[in-house]
Chains A and B, each alone.
Chain A
Amino acid sequence: MNALLKYRIAKSKTLHVLTSVLAFACVLPLMAILSFIIKAGITKINWHFLVNIPKPVGEAGGGIANALLGTLIIIAVAAAIAIPVGILCGVYLSENKNSRLANWSRLCVDILQGVPSIVIGIVAYFWLVKPLGGFSAFSGSVALAMMMLPIVIRSTEETLKLLPDSLKEAAFALGTPFHRVILKVIIPCGISGILSGVMLSVARVAGETAPLLFTAFGNPYLSANITKPMQSLPLLIFNYATSPYNDWHDLAWGASFILLVFVLLLNISTKLMTKKWKVQL
């Protein structure tokens, strides 16, 4: 073996190792973040923490019940808006692959996906908060729904595109009207893909803060009224983390832990569920 060849092989091996090291380097920050949040957060979690609202500055204790409830309500309303609209739009795009409207609509969904979340917040402020005369959880839900839409639409479209035409033909040949072909055959057969899109979109917006700053706004008290300001986990974390009080930091760590667990569980269960629910074609 000549020297040049040896050198080339050594170089190849070295770069292989270097690439692997660089690739796995990204594990470090994730582990650092996860372990830190778990360490700082888990000690704060107890029953009291989950069912009480924050105490004023200076008083120890207090919980995040208002933020937990608020996050659930805001996300539920956002999902109630985004899921049906998103699935219908995905159906339209997969049924009309090349129509002019489909191309325009697809372009707009792409644009929407890239809009910075803070801009969504501004727009929701002018569409809902200003006309309705005040911050409200509902306006926050609309802002989050706008962020969920592209994910739901995209995953629905991609899933339905992959279903064979024979499936639709079989249903049409039985005299099934179009809407029932879609609702009873096409969507059930693509349910795993659609569902994973829905869950990922929930996971994505569950941690969104920027669109809520000028919409849901936050609220130190427990509230279930969607026409009034409402607290949410990410808002609480942002406000308390940037405050100078240690008690509030503790609350924020506990809230971070819960938010992180919620988001990661959603991601993981999406994976497990799609595997299990996959329809055998």
Chain B
Amino acid sequence: MESTVIKTVDYNAYFGDNRVVKDVNISIPKNHVIAVMGPSGCGKTTFLRGINRMHELIPHAKADGKIFLHNEDVMQMHPIFVRLKIGMVFQRPNPFPNLSIYDNVIAGYKLNGIKLQRADKDKIVEEALTKVALWNEVKDSLRKKGTFLSGGQQQRLCIARAVAMLPEVLLFDEPTSALDPISTSTVEELFHELKKNYTLIIVTHNMQQAARVSDRTAFFYMGELVEYDDIKKMFTNPKDNRTQNYITGRFS
């Protein structure tokens, strides 16, 4: 029996009075890659941002229900703890423009005021960059600003920044939509490596990507979790009409 890392119970998210995520119940197993897909405006990104409590940073945004990380309810925890345990990578690469590559990787420690020995820092930076297959490319220019890297490299730097905090779960919000095809495939290969140590939840609007990278796929439509299954089953034999319509391209 695989262990569950994240489990939501009747999770709802709102913008003002507008309910954009409706009663979502989902269990996410450890060391898997879960793709979350659906047409734009279906609430998939809001759901993802709800998991690490980023949703509530938007004015007038609310959420209710339960999200369990192992056995603890994320909704009852302080957001800072949640975000330390559940890392996030965004649609557009967003390295800190005022920090070097090196400092970007350990930004999580710096920003939280955690003092580290020089040797520990070096170790963390090298490990994180190795995990995202960026070490060989940047090891000679660690003191350069992160913004000098290419888009794909910047995105991997952002993944390294999240990985360096040793989170349990990594959330990706359409992580390749701003990247070229080659960078996209590099990042996708990375997912297979990363899932050995982490649990990955990836929002994507690209069905092929979901098929390529995910172990399971959650299909969202109008704020509801319509179907959640093995990606192959979902493609060959969707249980719900709406899923059928989506994968055959009847709405996008």
Contacts and interface: CB of A to CB of B under 8 A. Distances in A.
Chains A and B touch each other in the complex, with CB atoms below 8 Å apart:
yes
B183 to A, nearest CB: 18
A201 to B, nearest CB: 23
Interface in B99-121: 107-108, 110-113
A261 interface: no
Interface in A5-33: none
A167 interface: yes
B107 to A, nearest CB: 6
B107 A169 contact: no
B90 A184 contact: no
Contacts of A166: 90, 92, 94
B97 A176 contact: no
Contacts of B87: 173-174
A173 B48 CA distance: 12
Interface string B27-40: 00000000000000
B80 A184 contact: no
A78 B88 CA distance: 43
Contacts of A174: 83-84, 87, 107-108, 111-112, 161-162, 165
B153 to A, nearest CB: 16
Nearest to A167: B94
B108 A279 contact: no
Interface in A165-182: 166-177, 180-181
Interface in B27-80: 52, 54, 57, 79-80
Contacts of B251: none
B90 A169 contact: yes
A18 B81 CA distance: 67
A184 B87 CA distance: 19
Interface residues of B, number: 30
A255 B95 CA distance: 49
A40 interface: no
B241 interface: no
B96 to A, nearest CB: 6
A99 B84 CA distance: 30
Interface string A169-203: 11111111100110011001101000000000000
A205 B54 CA distance: 43
A103 to B, nearest CB: 15
A46 interface: no
A169 B88 CA distance: 9
Interface residues of A, number: 23
B158 interface: yes
A170 B97 contact: no
A177 B112 CA distance: 7
B92 A281 contact: no
B180 to A, nearest CB: 19
B74 to A, nearest CB: 13
A280 interface: yes
B112 A175 contact: yes
Interface in B130-168: 145, 147, 158, 161-162, 165
A28 to B, nearest CB: 44
Given A175-B80, A175-B108, A180-B111, A169 B165 contact: no
Nearest to A173: B88
A38 B176 CA distance: 61
Contacts of B82: 175
A181 B57 CA distance: 13
B252 interface: no
B57 A172 contact: yes
12 contacts: A164-B94, A170-B161, A173-B52, A173-B90, A174-B107, A175-B83, A175-B108, A175-B112, A181-B111, A184-B110, A189-B97, A280-B147
Given A166-B94, A169-B54, 18 more contacts: A166-B92, A167-B96, A168-B57, A170-B94, A170-B158, A170-B161, A173-B83, A173-B88, A173-B90, A174-B84, A174-B87, A174-B161, A184-B110, A185-B111, A189-B97, A279-B97, A280-B97, A280-B147
